Every structure is written in structure tokens, then in C-alpha cells.
Amino acid sequence: MDYSVKDFYIPTITYFDSGNKLTGSRNGMNYKMTPQKEEKEIRVQIWYGEWNLEHSDLIASRLFPMTQESMAAIDRKSTRLNSSHLGISY
């Protein structure tokens, strides 16, 4: 994958189906993606700042169905949020 083109790398659904979490940051925007296996959903949480989620104010949180289509939607929304720290339309 060419990381110079994309702001974020969102793994395939298999990564989350295996119970793995994903955390990271980009330009001051931090994110955490946690699978909710029983509900077949992925919780995405967004916050800004230098600290971890437990020491920061949560800006956005949303559940997505655990589908490959949702991975594309998360990728689009993450890129949009990162490009503009004004107005969260999550």
C-alpha cells in the first residue's frame, strides 16, 4: 500500500473479526477502533490532543456494522475529519 497517498490505513474486516483493536493518530487527531464481536460492530472513537483517550475529551464515537463496506466508510470519514478539525460531522 502506498502510504504517501492515503492519510490512514484501515485494515480489512478480518483484522477486526479476529478481535484486534487499532489505535493511531494523524496530525493531532487520535483514533481507536474496537471490535464489538457479539454485536458484529466496530466502535470508532476520535479525540484530539497529546494524551490518550482516558485523559482526553472524546470528540466523536460511532458504531459501524462489521462489514467491508463499513471499512470504506470509516476510511472516508477519517480522512475528512483529519483534513478539517472544524466541525465534526461524524
pLDDT digits 0-9 by tens, 38-85: 899 999 999 988 788 888 889 989 999 998 888 888 877 766 665 554
Cα–Cα distances in angstroms (integers) from residue 8 to residues 19, 30, 54, 55, 74, in the given order = 20, 11, 22, 23, 10
Q: What is the mean pLDDT of residues 15-43?
A: 90
> pTM score, two decimals?
0.74
Q: Which of 77, 74, 76 is nearest to 88 (CA)?
A: 77
Cell (9 digits) for 22: 487499532
Sequence-distant (≥ 6) Cβ neighbours of residue 11 within 8 angstroms? 20, 22, 71
- Are 63 and 43 in contact by the 8 Å Cβ rule? The answer is yes
